[in-house]
Amino acid sequence: MVKYQSVNCFEYIESWSYYIEKAKVTNNNLYLIFDSIEITKKHPLNPFNNGWEINKATLTFYDFEVIDAGYYDCSHVQKQEIIFDKDCLYVPTSLLELINDFTLVTEDMKEQNETFFEHCFEGWAWKFGEDIWGYFKICYTRMEMTWDSFYNQRDT
């Protein structure tokens, strides 16, 4: 059950390394469901004096559109240090195929104005192999983060 709701709040998400438990698209909205996410101390809904983990978090991207989605195939690269976008072959794929078994590691707001946001996400695309780096860029009108509780929160 959703108890908390926060809109366009990426600046309040603490670091990044979150596994997507489930992803779905309904009515032009993208839903990314996580077991947990950590929010910063400064999040307006955080009642604690430090960053805190939230349970059953969902990020909903409204009126979203996929700009690009794919992964970097580095199977032919023989060197120790790899620069994904220079050394590896980029393989386009569908967004839902890419993020089925995906860990988000980085996010980067590319553009933002009064009508839309353009956002890039990168991370491990486990479905395609153990060391496969995935990338997707989406455009959306609004992002909403919802969750049901704070980790170890006691109902009062």
Note down pLDDT in tens along the chain; length 156 residues: 678 788 887 787 887 789 999 999 999 999 999 988 887 888 887 777 877 777 888 999 999 999 999 999 988 888 888 888 899 999 999 999 999 999 999 999 888 898 999 999 999 999 998 889 999 999 999 999 998 877 776 554
Note whether residue 155 is domain-resident. Answer: no
Sign of CA dihedral 148, 4, 62, 101: negative
80 within some domain? yes
Query: Is residue 78 assigned to a domain?
Result: yes
Enclosing domain of residue 27: 4-150
Structural domain includes residue 43:
yes
Q: How many structural domains is the chain composed of?
A: 1
∠ CA 112-2-109, rounded to 5°: 15
Rounded to two decimals, what is the model's pTM? 0.87
Task: Specify if 62 maps to a domain.
Answer: yes
The answer to whether residue 98 is domain-embedded is: yes
Handedness of CA 12, 59, 61, 99 (dihedral sign): positive
